[in-house]
Amino acid sequence: MVTVAVAALSGAFTWTLLEYIIHRWLGHDRRFRGNPFGIEHVRHHAEGNYFAPTAKKLVAAALAAAVVLVPAVLALGAATGVAYVAGLIGFYGLYEIVHRLEHVRPGFGPYGRWARRHHFTHHFVDARNNHGVTTPIWDFAFGTYRKPGHIVVPRKLAMPWLEDPTTGDVREGWAGTFALAPREKGRAKPSCSI
């Protein structure tokens, strides 16, 4: 019999696969990008500091839980089925927190710094790679992993934690990891607010 803890961990692991699938195919494959996630995701890439409204995310999570709950309970029993769904939806919530922190905060430990580099390689180096936001497991499995190197961020997408407001350059401590793209001649410095 599957234990509640194993079911919850299995739900969390399932989210990592769904995260990859949703991001790679619904967010980046031109054949499927007309879906609600794809529309929001394209805007996120274009604006950088844009995130879909929380209400939309809560509705999506509630719908996913409603769709998965009955089959999970029928297949695993009440306690383990609920634990599986709780792990799935709970890890989705963790993903949302990690993703937002990657964009809006300067750092939150070794994992956070690694996750940001992995994710920003996707954003600013090659969007065909690094679709996993919380883990590279599925990027390795599907051959889309790209080791993060020096990341050049377009100035119009520069995050406030990255750019030194007095110099317009990368803040001290981030220069070894990030650079800002050169300013275009004749263009004013764009503002970026979160």
> Same domain for 13 and 45?
yes
- What span, in angstroms and rounded, lies between the C-alpha atoms of 98 and 58? 16
pTM for this model (two decimals): 0.88
Number of domain units in the chain: 2
Query: What pLDDT digit, counting tens, does each position of 7-30 carry?
Result: 999 999 999 999 999 999 999 999
* Element containing residue 180 per DSSP (H, E): strand 178-180
> Same domain for 142 and 67?
yes
> Same domain for 138 and 120?
yes
> Same domain for 158 and 142?
no
> Same domain for 138 and 170?
no
- Yes or no: say if 80 and 4 are a contact pair by the CB < 8 Å rule: yes
Q: Is the pLDDT of residue 83 over 90?
A: yes
Phi, psi for residue 154 in degrees, rounded to 5: -60, 140
Taken in order 169, 170, 173, 178, the sign of the CA dihedral is: negative
Q: Which of the four pLDDT bands, split at 50, 70 and 90, describes residue 1?
A: low
> Same domain for 61 and 128?
yes
pLDDT attached to residue 193: 30
Query: What pLDDT digit, counting tens, does each position of 121-170 carry?
Result: 999 999 999 999 999 999 999 999 999 999 999 999 999 999 999 999 99
Domain that holds residue 34: 4-147
- Yes or no: say if 125 and 49 are a contact pair by the CB < 8 Å rule: no
> Same domain for 191 and 155?
yes
pLDDT attached to residue 48: 79
> Same domain for 81 and 16?
yes
Q: Which of the four pLDDT bands, split at 50, 70 and 90, describes residue 186?
A: low
> Same domain for 62 and 131?
yes
Q: Is the pLDDT of residue 189 over 80?
A: no
> Same domain for 155 and 105?
no
> Same domain for 89 and 10?
yes
- How far, rounded to the nearest angstrom, does the alpha carbon of residue 108 sit from its chain's CA centroid? 15
> Same domain for 116 and 129?
yes
